[in-house]
């Protein structure tokens, strides 16, 4: 599985499956940052090309290395967040 980040694709900013002919972020990684992932409702309805894609809350890399536009939490905090949210929960990023 992956997330399309290529504005040339009709699947831009959407979940995709490989093989895929456009650019996409792989959602499986050796460093396990996408073992738990929350998709932020950014540029989703409607999707606008070049406005941003693949923006998630996910597990942080060791040493909290910078992300490329996402929000990263350590695994224990991510688990707490997932346990506390409901279907209608609004996560506000400030």
The answer to whether residue 53 sits within a structural domain is yes
Task: Kindly state whether residue 91 falls inside one of the protein's structural domains.
Answer: no
- Report yes or no on 66 lying in a domain: yes
Q: Residue 90: inside a domain, yes or no?
A: no
> CA 42 to CA 64: how far, in whole Å?
23
**Residue 26's domain spans which residues?**
2-84
Does any domain span residue 92? no
User: In the structure, what pLDDT confidence band is assigned to residue 91 with cuts at 50, 70 and 90?
Assistant: confident
pLDDT of residue 10: 96
User: Each residue of 18-39: pLDDT tens digit?
Assistant: 999 999 999 998 889 999 999 9
Overall number of domains in the chain: 1
Residue 89 domain-assigned (yes or no):
no
Residue 47 in contact with residue 12, Cβ under 8 Å?
Answer: yes
CA dist list (Å): 93 to 33, 65, 86: 20, 19, 17
Q: Is residue 47 part of a domain?
A: yes
Q: What is the SS3 assignment for 37? A: strand
């Amino acid at each position: 599985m992956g997330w399309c980040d290529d504005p040339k694709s009709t699947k831009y900013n959407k979940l995709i499956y490989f093989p895929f002919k456009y650019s996409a972020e792989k959602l499986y990684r050796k460093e396990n940052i996408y073992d738990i992932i929350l998709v932020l409702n950014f540029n989703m309805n409607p999707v606008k090309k070049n406005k941003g894609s693949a923006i998630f809350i996910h597990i942080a890399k060791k040493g909290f290395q910078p992300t490329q536009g996402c929000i990263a939490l350590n695994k224990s905090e991510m688990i707490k967040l997932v346990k506390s949210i409901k279907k209608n929960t609004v996560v506000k990023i400030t």
